[in-house]
């Protein structure tokens, strides 16, 4: 088994083991919350199953997000999948400077090998615009303790001849939002790709316009890059026809390279090149079974 396969398998095992532990540790609190619902008059056993199902779905979304981040790091390298990007504009020079901060993957791996958990913030990708930040601020945003800030690596990219429209959008974005969290950002001076990711299935049509606005905003956020693609992606299933319809009818500046990545199309982009989609699914299924999630759910559902 290759190095990337071993690392990804170990990471998936860790994520699903933690998921199982969290479902159990949150069980009493979640059940107490459901007892306070006077509108849900159903059998207690069914209620438990529903509560466990919702808890599992919620946990799984976060875990898949983490797996996508880690897998993309294995595929493209740490610099291409930064934890935080600070965008600074110079309207007179018509330039945009991007300072990228990232924690080396070995830091994550060492925590796993030592049996330690990794904070959820460590898998988020954040964009700030024209903010004054210290390295302590960056460490906190990424989820590191102050004494771990030496693990943060920094590099800069400068984009020149940026048009006024892009600079104006960044100014407006700076005023409107303190920070932007991106599901997946693949960053490079020659190509920037952004992804709005949903777990999948047949998605709710009422959210389609909002989904399109989100990826349109990502497109405009990085319009200072001459090659900038944005995608709506799903981890499984057919996605949403409504999103596809809204995408085609939207008047914002999408190009032919932007679009929707469904299921295997998406995983082909983020998985290491030596891991096929089928291999990945087998790895995941093995880790899921070994994590004992099914057994834990069955046991909890039987508690009186």
- Count Cβ atoms within 10 A of the Cβ of residue 221 and give its class: 0-12 exposed, 13-18 middle, 19 or more buried: buried
Q: Where is mean pLDDT largest: 28-32, 132-136, 194-198, 259-263?
A: 194-198
Nearest residue to 222 (alpha-carbon basis) of 121, 89, 104, 131:
89
Reported confidence tier of residue 223, pLDDT bands at 50, 70, 90: very high
Global pTM value: 0.89
More confident residue, 243 or 3: 3
Of 56-60, 93-97, 275-279, the poorest mean pLDDT is in 56-60
Whether the predicted pLDDT of 248 surpasses 70: no
> Tokens representing 30?
């979640």
Whether the predicted pLDDT of 59 surpasses 60: yes
Quote the CA–CA distance of 163 and 95 in Å, as a whole number: 9
Q: Where is mean pLDDT largest: 5-19, 30-44, 210-224?
A: 5-19
Sequence-separated (6 or more) residues with CB below 8 Å from residue 76: 186
- The single residue listed with the structure tokens 């159903």 is 42
Whether the predicted pLDDT of 202 surpasses 70: no
Q: pLDDT by residue (tens digit) across 96-132? A: 999 999 988 888 888 777 777 788 888 889 999 999 8
Q: How many other C-beta atoms lie within 10 A of the C-beta of residue 217?
A: 17
pLDDT in the model for residue 280: 96
């Amino acid at each position: 088994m290759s190095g990337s396969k071993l690392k990804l398998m170990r990471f998936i095992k860790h994520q699903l083991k933690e998921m199982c532990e969290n479902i159990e540790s949150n069980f009493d609190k979640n059940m107490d919350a459901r007892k306070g619902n006077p509108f849900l008059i159903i059998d207690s056993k069914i209620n438990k199953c529903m509560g466990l199902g919702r808890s599992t779905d919620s946990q799984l979304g976060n875990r898949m997000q983490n797996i996508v981040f880690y897998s993309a790091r294995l595929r493209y390298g740490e610099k291409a999948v930064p934890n935080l990007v600070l965008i600074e504009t110079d309207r007179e020079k018509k330039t945009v400077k991007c300072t990228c901060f990232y924690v080396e993957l070995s830091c994550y791996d060492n925590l796993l090998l030592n049996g330690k958990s990794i904070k959820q913030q460590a898998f988020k990708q954040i964009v700030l615009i024209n903010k004054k930040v210290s390295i302590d601020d960056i460490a906190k945003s990424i989820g590191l303790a102050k004494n771990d800030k030496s693990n943060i690596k920094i590099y800069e990219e400068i984009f020149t001849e940026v048009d006024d429209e892009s600079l104006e959008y960044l100014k407006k974005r700076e005023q409107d939002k303190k920070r932007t969290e991106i599901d997946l950002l693949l960053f490079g001076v020659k190509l920037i790709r952004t992804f709005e990711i949903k777990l999948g299935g047949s998605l709710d049509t009422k959210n389609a316009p909002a989904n399109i606005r989100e990826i349109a905003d990502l497109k405009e956020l990085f319009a200072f890059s001459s090659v900038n693609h944005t995608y709506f992606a799903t981890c499984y299933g057919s996605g949403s026809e409504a999103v596809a319809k809204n995408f085609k009818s939207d008047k914002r500046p999408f190009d032919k390279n932007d679009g929707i990545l469904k299921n295997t199309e998406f995983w082909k982009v983020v998985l290491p090149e030596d891991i096929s989609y089928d291999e990945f699914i087998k790895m995941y299924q093995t880790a899921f079974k070994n994590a004992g999630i099914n057994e834990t759910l069955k046991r909890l559902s039987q508690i009186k």
